[in-house]
Amino acid sequence: MTEPAHDEAHGGSLGERLNWLRAAVLGANDGIVSTAGLVVGVAGATDDRAALLTAGLAGLLAGSMSMAAGEYVSVSTQRDSEKAALAVERRELREQPEAELEELTELLEGRGLSREVAREAAEQLTARDALKAHARVELGIDPERLTNPWHAAWASFLAFTAGALLPLLAIVLPPSTARVPVTVASVLAALALTGWSSARLGAAAPGRAVLRNVGGGALAMGVTYAVGSLLGAAGV
């Protein structure tokens, strides 16, 4: 609050934004793979466009809502434990400020500052905003920027939906003979792109990530198509 400009630059940090972007790419990837497996499997069994649309849409909604609910629960739990940790910290600061100052000093020393400089820094941080200092240095969280579970839920809902739309449209729009080839080709191309992006965002070498991702998607579609064809041939 005493240095808003700095706090803003710190808040939306590059690492944080990269994490969000990476989560979005992975969510889209999930949407692509699971919906592609579903619609290609149904296409193995039937030519009926209405059945394909129903299956694809149901898969899209079920997947995106399950992702959103999972994300909501996990972020809420994380937020609860962060709030509990902050409450403990707040109480400790109130009840034993000296011990807390010493603790902060030692943590800063552990990060490479000399005893004197660490003590001086700890005193200044404590004078400015003791809770924030302990939250950041000790707990590794920013008390003003706890992740919002609703934001996280919406983000994964949208990411999954965006990914799922590709195989859904690819299976429904083309004429029946071209459906499966068009879907397989566009899904594999999209998986190469998401594999490459997530590797780059995680600063990993993209080559293997692309191969694994494309291979995983090809396997998913191969298995469901085989099962769908068998069931279709058996007249189920």
Q: Which residues bind Zn ion (CB under 5 A)?
A: 100, 103, 134, 138
170: which 2 tokens?
Answer: 């690819």
DSSP-assigned letters across all residues of 159-190: HHHHHHHHHHHHHHSS-TTTHHHHHHHHHHHH
CA distance 4 to 7: 5
Least CB distance to Zn ion at residue 77 (A): 22
- Nearer to Zn ion by Cβ, of 137 and 192: the residue is 137
Q: Please identify the residue of the shown chain whose CB is closest to the bound Zn ion.
A: 134
Question: Checking phi first, is residue 192 left (phi over 0); if not, alpha (psi -120 to 50) or beta?
Answer: alpha
Residues 6+ apart with CB under 8 A from 223: 37
What is the three-class DSSP state of 176?
Answer: coil
- Nearer to Zn ion by Cβ, of 101 and 168: the residue is 101
Least CB distance to Zn ion at residue 104 (A): 6
Which residue is associated with the tokens 């400089």? 117
Least CB distance to Zn ion at residue 99 (A): 8
Closest by CA position to 143, among listed 190, 79, 95, 197: 79
- Nearer to Zn ion by Cβ, of 47 and 144: the residue is 144
Least CB distance to Zn ion at residue 89 (A): 5
CA distance 151 to 85: 22
Least CB distance to Zn ion at residue 4 (A): 25
- Nearer to Zn ion by Cβ, of 103 and 120: the residue is 103
Question: Checking phi first, is residue 203 left (phi over 0); if not, alpha (psi -120 to 50) or beta?
Answer: left
